[in-house]
Structure 1
Amino acid sequence: MSVPDAFLDPASIAVVGATDDRAKWGYWLATGALRGAHRRAVWLVNRQARPLFGRDSHRSVETVPQVPELVVLCVPAPHVKPVVAQALERGSRAFLAITAGLGADEPELARMLRDAGAHLLGPNSLGLYDADADLQLAWGNFTPGPLAIVSQSGQLGLEIATLAARSGLGVSRFYSVGNQLSVTAADLLEALVEDERTTTVALYLEGFTEGPRVVAALRALRRAGKHALVLSTGASDGSRRLARSHTGSLTSAVAVVEAACRTAGALRVATAQELVGTARYLSSATPPRGRRVAIVSDSGGQGGLAADVAASLGLSVPVFSPELQRKLGDLLPAAAAVSNPVDLAGAGEADLTVYAAVSEAVAASGEADAVALSGYFGCYGEDAPVLVDAENAVVDRLGQLAGGEVPVVVHSMSERSAAVARMAQRRLPAYPAIESALGALANAASLGPGRDLAADGRSGLSRATGYWHARETLVSLGIPVPRAVRVDDAAAVRRAFADLRAPAVLKAGWLEHKSEHGGVRAGLADAGAAVAAFTEMSARLGPGEYVLEEQDTRAGVVELLVGARRDRDFGPTITVGFGGVEAELWRDARVELAPVDRATALAMLDGLRCRPLLAGWRGRPAVAVGALADVIVLVSRAIAADPGLTDLELNPIRVAAGGVLAVDALILHEPDHFPEEEPCPRQPNPGP
């Protein structure tokens, strides 16, 4: 839905529930609306129809002089539906509902709006603000600036706006979406793509019921040159406990949201403070091209702490080349440290310009992607006013680097000195804590370009159940599996063993988690052992689909999990992680929205803690990482192309130097997509 102009720059507003009591919502909505009275008609409505703020008010929306384009509702919950009905009858088609607690009235209110072709922001909204339209219909005050806020929690959205104002960062638009009865967060994100004032968007959502559309809107913002920062609650991991696949139990709500952000070119942050700190950086400096940071400090202790913080944030502090160390040594005293971190060893007190000279030399070297200054800089003029001009001149030189390819971020022990104020003017991001400065830098470095999600796989996979049919599906996708034979009695086991290479594995093919039910017997060296295993297993588990399969005995194998799953909110996802029966124990997994390309698949593997095992750990041979990446791509395409597929899991997929082999698989479909067919037995025999 395109957001109606009434929510952007309405021609007229009626505030229902207006009052001059400053402690009530009606006061803030009325006074906020009147600030824009020079560009639109504003009518105040209250039951007493008494004058407010030196102007007449009206008893109801039925008595205002004209049809209000936007009706603001700040009335008790039982009165919302009657007021909306009156306004719809008059011809109004846009509503902002501050009122909460509508309860059972919400479905009927939604129907009324839908039937009339009308839209409502809220209910349970904290309001809206648009700097360019002189439109403020919210509690509090806003400072104009480049940050747009779309928040499901009105108070959290207001906290973001307040923190932004304290840090010198203003707001372009503010939307508290509340219950999203009609106008949704996705609608408002789409409307921000063309907003010229907005350069960064802050989004807070507690649920992603329009996940794919939200991702598309964030992707459009990225393409328009805007940054998006996403706050979300972790949500409950209860859904993982109900998952039928290992993939489902490994994938947290937060991990999927982060995957969605990476796909969109957005960034998930953990707190409002982190969001505002990152937004401050993005409003001033360009994101660094990489994660190499040069730390320059006038204190060895502060430089060392900065290096530790950088490492904890995934930034690298590389040792400078001998050539660069010589250049820095020429600028600094003999006691200075020049390898990185750089300790100025008192050079700043002798000559303030050394801060700029060292930063410029590092930026020109190509050996760092960003420079972080940490320590006393910014305090000189505050403590010795005679140094104000000299310190400001250094700020000006550093400011010339801020917008370049090697940006500069500053941690200053002063928060409000003249030099710190000048840093803001010169678009040089400065913070009172090193963790804030480097955290913003690391977040900016994490912002990627995003990627498209065009499904190009083959749809219409077989809906048959059981391990044998899962194997057939993998073969159809081009994924290698071991040779195997279906067996249903001891004689069939004996015949099958003659055609297979020993040792063999016997599996109860209908079980989703075979090991947990004793449905797997490996290391069967001869036909007698295979028959004995079948006899015991079938007696315990009952009749069903049994599979005798060649056991993978290759040396240097690493077991991983590759699993595709259809997320409730975001749709198809793909996960890769440490596999086997201990997958949930180690919880080493990476998830992305599906489908993925080969480069993304390789990046997923690089993000695993177990990645060194794939490269050859302690003398073992390196495994076929490229072949594994190809499998990830194939599985991701399958889940993206088939809407009836809910889970497609290979666990384990065994990877050796010579290639990959999927030795177990689970495929699940939506129940209403199953054809009429005789299902395989799915539960173990409970026994006597």
Structure 2
Amino acid sequence: MTAADTFTGRVEPVADDLSPLWAPRSVAVVGASDNPAKWGYWLASGALSGGGRRAVHLVNHRGGSVCGVPVARSLRELGGPVDLTAVVVPAAVVEETVTDALDLGSRALLVISDGVQRLPGGSALLRDLARRAREAGARLLGPSSLGIVDSAQELRLAWGHFTPGPVGIVTQSGQVGSELAHLLHRHGSGVSRFASVGAQADITFEELLAGLAAHPATTAVIGYLEGVRDAAGFLSAARALRAAGKPLVVLAVGDSAAGSAAARSHTGALTGSMDVLDAACRAVGAVRARTPAEAAALAHALAAGVRPRSDRIVVVSDSGGQGALAADVAAAAGLRVTPLGSGTRARLAEALPDGPAPGNPVDLAGAGEQDLSSYAAAAEAVASDAGAVVLTGYFGRFGVDSPGLGEAECAVAHRLTRLARTVPVVVHSMAEDGPAVNVLVRGGIPVFSDVETTLRAVAGCLRWERAVARDVPAPAPVGEGDRCSYPAAREMLREAGIPVPEAGTARSAEEAVTLAGSWPGATVLKADLDHKTEAGGVVLGLRTAGEVAAAHRDLTARLGLDSVVVERMDERAGVVEVLVGMRHDPVFGRVVVVSSGGVEAELWRDTVLELAPVDEAGATAMLTRLRSHPRLLGWRGAPGVDIPALTRAIAAVSRMPVATCEINPLRAGADGVLAVDALVFRGHSEEETA
């Protein structure tokens, strides 16, 4: 069950008390079954597993017994109130079941049943069920939910097995959520709270995410997204988790659609929905993972408290090959494996007197086999010189393959767990489990079975540690509106504090010649079109009156124009062309984009973006992420550009009250910036278009 059939007619919730869902005093499972192949069995057996904490009622219209417990034929037979009713019946009888549950006084409804939204009038039915639930003081999760789990409450109403642990999962796909829970179990971790949102007729992904901020048993969170419907709610929930010190790992799928602006500006064409989601995660201090495996590993490491002190790691290995591979993977993940300081080399030489010349990676070169304590001694020696210590190789398998070495290996594992109290320690082991691995995991050291997962987890922990949440406005829908004329766009930029060249509008060749004569140097003639260059609407380097007049006559005749813009040409040497734009994302609102500029911007796709607005410090950070950033600083003897002027322009664009603004190019030189082309759509609010 996924969010592919997500109900989109949801009305806004009027209540936010979800305690009956997570801490019910009584539970009823409607559709209970004795068949392990059916949902009704998993919900019934799960509910009964928490029977020591609450009353559990099983309901099936056939009666009889399930899991040895007598079954009522209907909810009405129960007589007394039930806090939480789990519904796993055919779609056609969901409405009747929900009605009975509300009449019985249920304050929370978990609807597992699939297909309700595909019934004739299904959307209207869901809207009505959600409204009736809220009017009765109840909340509804689903339909098409895989279920819920709260380990501390011994509440398990879901298909599958869930190991208790510190990680909360909120998912828009039940199956992906199950995979995440399974992966956490393989890492020796588990789930504190699990919620599959289903179609979100009432209770939303964002509400459930926000609820984890105050959930004591949760120390890290994974949110799986197939779409954000409430961007303000998502941002608020993520900020609340950050403020509570609970890392949020976002796993998402998306396409490259960039909204309505894509067809009309480079700013839209250069950015996709995942780029914007990444920007949203940065704004609220969350981190995004690419796969369920990466998300589970990262959440496990974050929940274990891995907080790298810097991007410099020290790799300790019992194999030169594995150490070298770890160094390569670390570099690809954005970590540094650099030479050790002299003091660290001295300590390492003292700890391993018969070992090879100390370096990074640290190659034990057989020392570990001769003396297992070498692993701990090496890690302890390098700890003060490392943002994190990564152990990779055979350690963990000694006690598995040679049981006589198990006790000594466990003693080393205990030393490593003590070291992990002062510096993060993460282990890649060829053993997935075993006595020493169990010691490491119980001591809070994450252990992974492949080196890429290990290093990406470390890098993700560093991203979270370095992230700084900032305030961004709540997204407000804005229509694209009409394109401003180029002269009007120039004036808007000038008023925003962004320099533009001298220019004017000429309706005749004579007027064009007069304007061009008012400044020294070359002149540019421009047609007032969306994409001037592509339409052949830009003529550069005009230096004589004859050239200006001829270009004016050609443009007006060829393109059917009444007038053209006559503009002084920027002839500064050592200039770098940059694209700076702002657009409205349909989900997260205003987005500021910076890219390599000019007519080949889409070819090189050297682009960074953030949710708008940004200040000058934020703009500076954006520039450092460009692949072309060295060009801005001065490349091969060229002078560097005026970075403060460039960052002021980026910040100014991010604050402009328009739907779309694109300066391409913004020409940045050592003596400042100059906007020599701009495309602006004013925009309008939804109220103005209603």
TM (norm. structure 1) is: 0.92
Contact 2:169 2:191 (C-alpha < 8 Å) held by counterparts: yes
Secondary structure in 1 aligned to 2:534? helix
> d(CA) in 2 for partners of 1:246 and 1:237?
13
- Aligned match for 1:78, one of 87, 92, 100: 92
Secondary structure in 2 aligned to 1:302? helix
- Aligned match for 1:283, one of 294, 303, 314: 303
Verify: 1:114 aligned to 2:134, yes or no.
no
AA partner of residue 473 (structure 1)? M
Compared CA separation, residues 335 and 58, structure 1 to 2 (3 A): closer
- Aligned match for 2:71, one of 36, 47, 57: 57
Partner of 1:681: none
- Aligned match for 1:328, one of 337, 348, 351: 348
> d(CA) in 2 for partners of 1:155 and 1:547?
58
> d(CA) in 1 for partners of 2:190 and 2:606?
40
> d(CA) in 2 for partners of 1:374 and 1:675?
61
Secondary structure in 2 aligned to 1:499? coil
Secondary structure in 1 aligned to 2:599? coil
Cα deviation, residue 149, structure 1: 0.6
Cα deviation, residue 604, structure 1: 1.2
Task: Identify which range, 140-149 or 231-240, moves more after superposition.
Answer: 231-240
> d(CA) in 1 for partners of 2:352 and 2:160?
51
Partner of 2:414: 396
> d(CA) in 2 for partners of 1:86 and 1:544?
72
- Aligned match for 1:135, one of 139, 155, 162: 155
AA partner of residue 541 (structure 1)? L
Contact 2:483 2:680 (C-alpha < 8 Å) held by counterparts: no
1:637-676 CA-to-partner distances (Å, cap 9, x unmatched) read 22xxx4xx32111111111111111111111233567999
Partner of 1:656: 669
Verify: 1:9 aligned to 2:27, yes or no.
no
> d(CA) in 2 for partners of 1:382 and 1:355?
17
* Residues 490-569 of structure 1: pairs in structure 2 closer than 5 A: 490-509=509-528, 511-543=529-561, 546-569=564-587
Partner of 1:451: 469
Contact 2:283 2:469 (C-alpha < 8 Å) held by counterparts: yes
Q: Where in structure 1 are there 5+ consecutive unaligned residues?
A: 677-688
> d(CA) in 2 for partners of 1:225 and 1:603?
24
Partner of 1:416: 433
Task: Identify which range, 304-313 or 276-285, moves more after superposition.
Answer: 276-285
Partner of 1:665: 678
Contact 1:240 1:249 (C-alpha < 8 Å) held by counterparts: no
> d(CA) in 2 for partners of 1:38 and 1:334?
60
Cα deviation, residue 575, structure 1: 1.2
> d(CA) in 2 for partners of 1:395 and 1:665?
62
Cα deviation, residue 34, structure 1: 2.1
Contact 2:259 2:585 (C-alpha < 8 Å) held by counterparts: no
Compared CA separation, residues 489 and 287, structure 1 to 2 (3 A): same
Compared CA separation, residues 664 and 353, structure 1 to 2 (3 A): same
Secondary structure in 1 aligned to 2:263? coil
Partner of 2:167: 147
TM (norm. structure 2) is: 0.91
Cα deviation, residue 229, structure 1: 0.7
Contact 2:258 2:273 (C-alpha < 8 Å) held by counterparts: no
> d(CA) in 2 for partners of 1:4 and 1:412?
42
Compared CA separation, residues 378 and 58, structure 1 to 2 (3 A): closer
Compared CA separation, residues 287 and 149, structure 1 to 2 (3 A): same
Compared CA separation, residues 613 and 242, structure 1 to 2 (3 A): closer
Compared CA separation, residues 242 and 251, structure 1 to 2 (3 A): closer
Compared CA separation, residues 235 and 180, structure 1 to 2 (3 A): farther
Secondary structure in 2 aligned to 1:517? coil
Contact 1:259 1:591 (C-alpha < 8 Å) held by counterparts: yes
Q: Where in structure 2 are there 5+ consecutive unaligned residues?
A: 1-12
- Aligned match for 2:443, one of 426, 437, 457: 426
> d(CA) in 2 for partners of 1:567 and 1:212?
13
Task: Identify which range, 28-37 or 566-575, moves more after superposition.
Answer: 28-37
Compared CA separation, residues 187 and 619, structure 1 to 2 (3 A): same
1:21-64 CA-to-partner distances (Å, cap 9, x unmatched) read 22111111122222223333332222223333344433333332
Partner of 2:507: 488
Secondary structure in 2 aligned to 1:516? coil
Partner of 1:67: 81
1:296-332 CA-to-partner distances (Å, cap 9, x unmatched) read 2222222111111111111111112334323323333
Secondary structure in 2 aligned to 1:522? strand
Compared CA separation, residues 465 and 383, structure 1 to 2 (3 A): same
Contact 1:286 1:403 (C-alpha < 8 Å) held by counterparts: no
* Residues 608-687 of structure 1: pairs in structure 2 closer than 5 A: 608-638=626-656, 642=657, 645-670=658-683
Contact 1:3 1:191 (C-alpha < 8 Å) held by counterparts: no
Contact 2:579 2:664 (C-alpha < 8 Å) held by counterparts: yes
Compared CA separation, residues 388 and 57, structure 1 to 2 (3 A): closer
Contact 2:285 2:469 (C-alpha < 8 Å) held by counterparts: yes
> d(CA) in 2 for partners of 1:432 and 1:559?
46
Contact 2:397 2:431 (C-alpha < 8 Å) held by counterparts: yes
Partner of 2:249: 229
Partner of 2:226: 206
Verify: 1:193 aligned to 2:206, yes or no.
no
> d(CA) in 2 for partners of 1:659 and 1:613?
15
Cα deviation, residue 234, structure 1: 2.7
> d(CA) in 1 for partners of 2:627 and 2:260?
21
Percent same amino acid at aligned positions?
47
> d(CA) in 1 for partners of 2:520 and 2:22?
71
Cα deviation, residue 289, structure 1: 2.2
Secondary structure in 1 aligned to 2:520? coil
Task: Identify which range, 328-337 or 213-222, moves more after superposition.
Answer: 328-337
> d(CA) in 1 for partners of 2:355 and 2:104?
80
* Residues 346-385 of structure 1: pairs in structure 2 closer than 5 A: 346-364=366-384, 367-385=385-403
- Aligned match for 1:342, one of 353, 359, 362: 362
> d(CA) in 1 for partners of 2:488 and 2:361?
59
Cα deviation, residue 191, structure 1: 0.7
Task: Identify which range, 87-96 or 515-524, moves more after superposition.
Answer: 87-96
Compared CA separation, residues 633 and 71, structure 1 to 2 (3 A): same
Cα deviation, residue 235, structure 1: 2.6
Cα deviation, residue 393, structure 1: 2.2
Secondary structure in 1 aligned to 2:65? coil
Cα deviation, residue 335, structure 1: 6.0
> d(CA) in 1 for partners of 2:245 and 2:630?
37
Compared CA separation, residues 243 and 180, structure 1 to 2 (3 A): farther
Partner of 2:9: none
Contact 1:285 1:403 (C-alpha < 8 Å) held by counterparts: no
Contact 2:22 2:150 (C-alpha < 8 Å) held by counterparts: yes
Cα deviation, residue 94, structure 1: 2.6
Segments of 4+ moved more than 4 angstroms: 238-242, 460-464, 671-676
> d(CA) in 1 for partners of 2:641 and 2:176?
48
Partner of 1:686: none
AA partner of residue 443 (structure 1)? G
Compared CA separation, residues 454 and 281, structure 1 to 2 (3 A): closer
Cα deviation, residue 333, structure 1: 4.7
Verify: 1:43 aligned to 2:57, yes or no.
yes
Contact 2:283 2:472 (C-alpha < 8 Å) held by counterparts: no
> d(CA) in 1 for partners of 2:344 and 2:150?
49
> d(CA) in 2 for partners of 1:672 and 1:191?
32
AA partner of residue 64 (structure 1)? L
> d(CA) in 1 for partners of 2:257 and 2:674?
31
Secondary structure in 1 aligned to 2:140? strand
Cα deviation, residue 384, structure 1: 3.6
Cα deviation, residue 107, structure 1: 2.6
Contact 2:472 2:611 (C-alpha < 8 Å) held by counterparts: no
Compared CA separation, residues 647 and 31, structure 1 to 2 (3 A): same
Secondary structure in 2 aligned to 1:226? coil
Secondary structure in 1 aligned to 2:66? coil
Compared CA separation, residues 526 and 247, structure 1 to 2 (3 A): same
